[in-house]
Amino acid sequence: MTDKRAFRQALGTYPTGVAVVTALPADRKPMGITVNSFTSVSLEPPLVLWCMDRRSKRFAAFSAAEGYVINILGTEHEEVSARLAQPGSHSLEGIGLCQTELGPPALADALAVFECAAHACHDGGDHAILVGRVLRFHRHGPGAPLVFYRGAYGALSKAAGP
């Protein structure tokens, strides 16, 4: 396979949810990164995974973190997602946050929050597959999830459920 652009476009036909992962690097200044590669792995023990580009300037901080917080985004988070998807410091300054028992902050109005201890890191080519053991989680009130499809943000036409 040589056509990376066509491969990326084909992958883009699969809609994904959008999350922000937060961590506390060694300097104790919280940072975040937008991901769309979040999924459940196991109910017992409770494990989730997300993937991160090894070339990212934030890779060392996230892959070395003892834990991180995964925040599931709603449609109102498009601006936060876009900001934390760009290269840069990935500071959480100006974003509504709340404390967690784990340490890294959670987005105050995320649809769901998962506090995770780093469990494993696996090779995934130019990405790493980070597996977290869920220590605590909580769900906020109802809301429509932010989705990513064909290179753009969107929403489900109907968000239902408990």
Task: Report the phi/psi class of residue 85: left, alpha or beta, with left for phi > 0 and alpha for psi in -120 to 50.
Answer: alpha
Residue 16: strand, helix, or coil: strand
Question: Quick one: CA torsion of 76, 79, 136, 122, rounded to 10 degrees?
Answer: 130
- Give the distance from CA 14 to its chain's centroid: 17
Give tens-digit pLDDT for 44-82. Answer: 999 999 999 999 999 999 999 999 999 999 999 999 999
Residues 6+ apart with CB under 8 A from 16: 36, 37, 147, 148, 149
Nearest CA-CA partner of 112 in 142, 87, 86, 148: 142
Summary mean pLDDT of the chain: 91
CATH number of 4-148: 2.30.110.10
By the 10 Å C-beta count (0-12 exposed, 13-18 middle, 19+ buried), 101 is classed as: exposed
**Sheet containing 16-17: order of strands:** 16-17, 146-149, 152-155
The whole-model pTM stands at 0.92
Token pair, residue 85, equals 């998807």
pLDDT at residue 162 tops 80: no
Which pLDDT score is estimated for 157?
Answer: 65
Which pLDDT score is estimated for 26?
Answer: 81
Residues 6+ apart with CB under 8 A from 42: none
pLDDT band at 158 (very low <50, low <70, confident <90, very high): low
Do residues 115 and 100 make contact, with C-beta atoms less than 8 angstroms apart? yes
pLDDT band at 90 (very low <50, low <70, confident <90, very high): confident
Question: What is the rounded average pLDDT of the residues 140-160?
Answer: 82
